[in-house]
Amino acid sequence: MTAKAGARVVTITSGKGGVGKTTTTANLGIALARLGKKVVVMDADIGLRNLDIVMGLENRIVYDLVDVIEGRCQLRQAMIKHKQFPELYLIPAAQTRDKTAISPSDMVSITDKLRPEFDFIIIDCPAGIERGFRNAIAAADEVLIVTNPEVSAVRDADRIIGLLEANNKGPGKLILNRMKGDMVKKGEMLSPDDVTDILSIKLIGIVPEDENVIPASNSGVPVALNENSKAGIAFRNIARRLCGEEVPLMPVQDTSGGFLQRLSRLFGGN
Amino acid sequence: MTGFFERLFGTGGNKGSGAAARERLQFILVHDRINLPPEQLQAMKAEILAVISRYVSVNSEQVDIALQQRDRDSLLVAEIPFTKAIDTDEARQRMADPEKTDNNMDDA
């Protein structure tokens, strides 16, 4: 891929649904903004808009991505400024349309317009390998594949990696989400090494299972803003790695909570 | 009691379902990646064996032809022990009569 000037376009994809693409997109957007980067997060899941909710911006939507493409508004009018970070913007998906309302070349032209003004454009890809996926990767300079340490999610990630390679967008880097260190230790979960061995791609981050994630989504305040959340730290570390910083991966045992947490789990049932 | 300490200190064996997940995935992905149905793979192996058997004597029970992965590339790895070249007259006849060879292959 020849690098275009300006922002880097990073697409977050997975194949399988429900593994944490939208959560990852929202948190990387926030974490990059915290690092002082100018960021646009874009929801490419036309018809199943969700990124706005995870980011707590659903009440501010007037125009969406399809309105821009069909000329009903200017690009700027569809960009929603984040409450806390004035240089973080969301471009929401349309809720009442479907994937065919946009084309891969539309995505290229929109990102090309944004590139000069931003450092990062993060695209939330829909689940699946059809049109929505092709739209979401069309403009990508790099692709991050989110997976969970489960057979079906890893299988879908492998299919996505194959498709990325076939489209000269591969192999991408892996985010292993919802890792449970205590289960890995008991041998009841694929380890990060298992997954990277099987997929043969580089890991850019391991995000531990964290009970803060659902409350964060409930309230529209992503965990990357929570100083004490392990998942929040993991997402902030991924953002730093995206910026070229060398940040060591969190050891997997640290993803299962500390000794006291295990002690309480032991006596408190669970 | 050991289980108690294992849970307390977060240690323990590595013989759980994680290993099964790894094995299942490796098997599934080999076939996903080449996009070749198992029956066709079997047919391919049988044909390969049929060709080799025309030249050397092979005990089909000792043959191991399997798909492997190296990084993201698929490899067909074959271990085919053979004892000796098969009857030379018959082999020569086959060389001289390729038609017959083709027919044999169809039979295989």
Q: Give residue ranges of A with CB < 8 Å to any B CB.
A: 150-151, 154-155, 158-159, 161-162, 165, 171, 181-191, 194, 198, 200-201, 253, 256, 259, 262-263, 266
Which residue among A154, A158, A188 sits closest to B16, beta carbon to beta carbon?
Answer: A188
Query: Is A194 in Cβ contact with B22 (below 8 Å)?
Result: yes
Per the structure, the count of domains in chain B is 1
Residue in chain A closest to B32 (alpha carbons) equals A159
Residue B95 tokens, joined: 């060389």
Query: Is A186 in Cβ contact with B25 (below 8 Å)?
Result: no
Q: Is the pLDDT of residue A266 over 70?
A: no
Q: Give the domain range for residue B80.
A: 40-108
Domain assignment present for A51: yes
Q: What is the pLDDT of residue A270?
A: 40
Helices (H), chain A: 21-34, 51-54, 65-69, 104-114, 131-138, 151-166, 181-185, 192-199, 213-219, 230-242, 259-267
Domain assignment present for A2: no
Residues of chain B with pLDDT under 50: 1-2, 10-14, 101-108
HSE (side-chain half, CA atoms, 13 Å) at B53: 15
Domain assignment present for A3: no
Compute the nearest-CA separation of A33 from chain B (Å). 35
pLDDT interval class at A269 (50, 70, 90): very low
Q: How far is CA A49 from the centre of its chain?
A: 14
Domain assignment present for A249: yes
Q: What is the pLDDT of residue A48?
A: 95
Which residue among B8, B16, B21 sits closest to A263, beta carbon to beta carbon?
Answer: B8
Q: What is the pLDDT of residue B99?
A: 59
Q: Percentage of residues in chain A with pLDDT exceeding 70?
A: 93
Q: How far is CA A142 from the centre of its chain?
A: 12
Domain assignment present for A143: yes
Q: Is the pLDDT of residue A106 over 80?
A: yes
Residue in chain B closest to A267 (alpha carbons) equals B8
Cα B95 from Cα B81, distance rounded (Å): 23
Q: What is the pLDDT of residue B14?
A: 46
User: Residues A211-217: contacts with CB within 8 Å, 24+ apart?
Assistant: A213/A23, A217/A23, A217/A53, A217/A54
Q: What is the pLDDT of residue B98?
A: 58
ipTM over 0.95: no
Query: Is A185 in Cβ contact with B10 (below 8 Å)?
Result: yes
Q: Give the domain range for residue A112.
A: 8-267
Domain assignment present for A1: no
Q: What is the pLDDT of residue B108?
A: 41
Q: Is the pLDDT of residue A69 over 90?
A: yes
- B24 near A CB under 8 A: yes
Encode pLDDT of A58-68 as tens digits.
999 999 999 99
Q: Is the pLDDT of residue A226 over 60?
A: yes
Query: Is A262 in Cβ contact with B12 (below 8 Å)?
Result: no
| CATH code of A251's domain | 3.40.50.300
- Give the distance between the most distant pair of CA atoms in chain A: 61
Per the structure, the count of domains in chain A is 1
Q: Is the pLDDT of residue A213 over 60?
A: yes
Beta strands in A44-133 (DSSP E): 80-81, 88-91, 120-124
Residue A158 tokens, joined: 């492998």
Residue in chain A closest to B26 (alpha carbons) equals A198
Query: Is B22 in Cβ contact with A190 (below 8 Å)?
Result: yes
- B68 near A CB under 8 A: no
Query: Is A188 in Cβ contact with B17 (below 8 Å)?
Result: yes
Residue in chain B closest to A254 (alpha carbons) equals B10
Domain assignment present for B2: no
Domain assignment present for A55: yes
Cα A26 from Cα A222, distance rounded (Å): 7
**Three-class SS of residue A201?**
coil
